[in-house]
Amino acid sequence: MRLFIAIQFDDSILEALTGLQESLRGLRVGGNYTPRENLHLTLAFIGDYDDPEAVLEAIERADFRPMELALDGVGCFGDLFWVGLAENKALHAYVKRLRRELAEAGIPFDRKHFSPHITLIRRASVPGGGAVPVSEAPVGRMRATHVSLMRSDRGKNGMIYTEIN
């Protein structure tokens, strides 16, 4: 079972993100656009792991506390186009606690530096080359009240994410 821990977004954030995607499609930016139902903030990527109950216990021990999240800026990691989040000490503190609990439980996870972002387009390409044209970054805020353990399965038309808890 391929697992990751994420924060899922409310409709206001999803509208802001999909609005930017529609704008970019109108500018003929190509690539693999993340479907609305798959837009999320990954806190820890676990990968193939067959004990979701142990992961849920680690999530519980990490003690998530509700927090405000705000969209802030856009950027690229190579050809991956993303929207960022405003600096958030509470979010970083939670991710640190979460990853410590995963490690102490012996649950493997990707230990890359946490850089909060929402992937909008993979393999982004612009006609004629150059940077993805964005005149205005999306604006949105929400109160995150919980985290979700997610399962990722490959479907006919891309990845299908299912909330386990």
Structure tokens at 130: 């150059």
The predicted structure's pLDDT at residue 110: 95
Checking if the pLDDT of 129 tops 90, the result is no
Please, where are the H alpha helices in the chain? 11-26, 52-62, 89-104
Mean pLDDT value across residues 104-110: 96
Residue 155 has pLDDT above 90, yes or no: no
Confidence of residue 108 (pLDDT cuts 50, 70, 90): very high
Of 68 and 165, the one with more pLDDT: 68
- CATH assignment of 2-163? 3.90.1140.10
pLDDT tens for 25-70 read: 998 999 999 999 999 999 999 999 999 999 999 999 999 999 999 9
Task: Delimit the domains of the chain by residue range.
Answer: 2-163
Tokens of 111: 């230990």
| pTM of the shown model | 0.91
